[in-house]
Amino acid sequence: MNRPDFDVVVAGAGAGGAAAAYHLTRAGLRTLVVEKARLPRYKACGGAIPRTALDDFAVDFRGVVEAIPEEVSFTYPGLPATSTALAGGPVLMVMRSRFDAFLLSCSGAEVLEGAAVEEVA
């Protein structure tokens, strides 16, 4: 890769980095995302995303939503389990590997995979 000029370099292509890149490019900034792994990459995560977290994106996320739970249950050692309804689908379940890669592809940023950020000056 040549050394083109970028206004912003984002370290990491997870949900936070991809979201930052999305908003930065929408603001007209030339953005590079540097990711140490090859994409898509597995991410250990429960995969629950609040629906309101997606309100600031002009993106149709339906293709990467795995499920919209209607109820959540909590269990604690020595206590009875408790459940509560999730009216209105406030939480979306995603596989982070698919979600992160999709959001990054929507960002319009340039991506450098397999390169770790080692120092920031």
Which domains, from first to last, does the chain contain?
Answer: 8-113 (3.50.50.60)
Give the tens place of pLDDT for each residue, 14-36.
999 999 999 999 999 999 999 99
| Predicted TM-score (pTM) of this structure | 0.85
Contact (Cβ atoms closer than 8 angstroms) between residue 15 and residue 41: no
Give the tens place of pLDDT for each residue, 32-89.
999 999 998 888 888 999 999 999 999 999 999 999 999 999 999 999 999 999 988 8
At residue 89, the pLDDT reads 86
